[in-house]
Amino acid sequence: MSYTGPDLEPPRPRRSPLRRPLTVAVAALVPGALLGWGVYAAVGGSDGGGDAAGARTSSAAPSEGAASASDDAKKPADSSPSATGKPTASSSKSAPAGASGPLKGKVVVIDPGHNPDNFQHTSEINRKVNVGTHWKECDTTGTATNAGYPEAKFTLDVAHRLRTLLEEQGATVKLTQDGDRSYGPCVDERARIGNEAHADAAISIHADGSGAGNRGFHVILPGAVHDGDADTRAIVAPSAELGERVAGNFVRATGGAPSNYVGDGTGLVTRTDLGGLNLSTVPKVFIECGNMRDDKDVAQLTSGTWRQKAAQGMSEGIVSFLRG
Ligand code: ZN
What is the CATH classification number for the domain harbouring 194?
Answer: 3.40.630.40
Give the tens place of pLDDT for each residue, 218-264.
Answer: 999 999 999 999 999 999 999 999 999 999 999 999 999 999 999 99
CA of 136 to the centre of ligand 1 (A): 15
Domain assignment present for 33:
yes
Q: Where do the H-state alpha helices sit in 139-235?
A: 151-168, 187-196
pLDDT at 15: 45
Task: Please state, as a whole number, how many other Cβ atoms lie within 10 Å of the Cβ of residue 64.
Answer: 24
User: What range defines the domain where residue 297 resides?
Assistant: 22-58+77-90+99-323
% helix, strand, coil for the chain, step of 5: 45, 15, 40
Residue ranges for the chain with pLDDT beneath 50: 2-95, 97-98
- The two most distant CA atoms of the chain are separated, in Å, by 52
CA of 2 to the centre of ligand 1 (A): 5
Is 288 catalytic? The answer is yes
Task: Compute the Cα dihedral for 305, 246, 170, 94 and give only its sign.
Answer: negative
Which DSSP category does 233 fall into? Answer: T
Under 8 Å CB-to-CB from 11, ≥6 apart: which residues?
53, 56, 57, 269, 271, 272, 273
Instruction: Answer for the pair 19, 240: CB distance below 8 angstroms, yes or no.
Output: yes
- In this structure, which residues have their CB less than 5 angstroms from ion ligand 1? 1, 113, 142, 206
CA of 26 to the centre of ligand 1 (A): 27
As a whole number of angstroms, the distance between CA 146 and CA 255 comes to: 24
Task: Please state, as a whole number, how many other Cβ atoms lie within 10 Å of the Cβ of residue 160.
Answer: 18
CA angle 296, 212, 206 (to 5 degrees): 75
CA of 216 to the centre of ligand 1 (A): 15
Under 8 Å CB-to-CB from 13, ≥6 apart: which residues?
49, 50, 53, 54
Domain assignment present for 26:
yes
Total domains, the chain: 1
pLDDT above 90 covers a percentage of the chain that reads 68
Domain assignment present for 4:
no
Q: Has this prediction a pTM greater than 0.85?
A: no
CA of 208 to the centre of ligand 1 (A): 6
Domain assignment present for 276:
yes
CA of 149 to the centre of ligand 1 (A): 13
Domain assignment present for 39:
yes
Domain assignment present for 1:
no
Residue 102: is the preceding peptide bond cis (ω within 30°)? no
Instruction: Answer for the pair 43, 265: CB distance below 8 angstroms, yes or no.
Output: yes
Burial class (CB in 10 A: 0-12, 13-18, 19+), 305: exposed
Task: From the candidates 64, 241, 288, 316, give the one annotated as an active-site residue.
Answer: 288
pLDDT at 1: 53
